[in-house]
Amino acid sequence: MDEERIKVYLEFLACPKCKGDLVYHKAEKTEGFVCQKCSLLYPIVDDIPEMLIESAIPCKDEPSAKG
């Protein structure tokens, strides 16, 4: 995903669970937005963020997503 689109998403999106701020994260197998308060990663699939709590991946399942 390009940097300009990431900036726009980060400006408008919030964690659906706690309404907290998100941080962009990219690893080998996953890309998405991380809520550091909830320790959840919301994946990006086909350039679309899946901002459903049910779609979130706990950061403990993606070790490099905590930072």
Secondary structure of the chain as H, E, C letters: CCHHHHHHHHHHCCCCCCCCCCEEEECCCCEEEEECCCCEEEEEECCEECCCHHHCEEHHHCHHHHC
Number of domains within the chain? 1
**Predicted TM-score (pTM) of this structure:** 0.86
pLDDT for 1-59, tens place per residue?
A: 899 999 999 999 999 999 999 999 998 888 999 999 999 999 999 999 999 999 999 98
pLDDT level of residue 65 (50, 70, 90 thresholds):
low
For the chain, how big is the Rg over CA atoms in Å? 11
Domain CATH for 25: 2.20.25.10
Q: Which domain holds residue 59?
A: 3-66
- Given this model, what pLDDT does residue 1 score? 85
